[in-house]
Amino acid sequence: MTTISIEGMEFFAYHGCFPEENIIGTRFVLDLYLETNTNEAEVSDELSKTVNYMEVYQIVKKQMAIKSNLLEHVGRRIIDEVKACFPQVAQVEVKVKKMNPPLGGKMDFVSVTLKG
Residue positions annotated with a catalytic role: 98
- The candidate with the shortest Cα–Cα distance to 60, out of 38, 86, 88, is 86
Q: How distant, in Å, are the alpha carbons of 13, 50, 98 from that of 39?
A: 37, 9, 36
Distance of alpha carbon 37 from alpha carbon 39, whole angstroms: 6
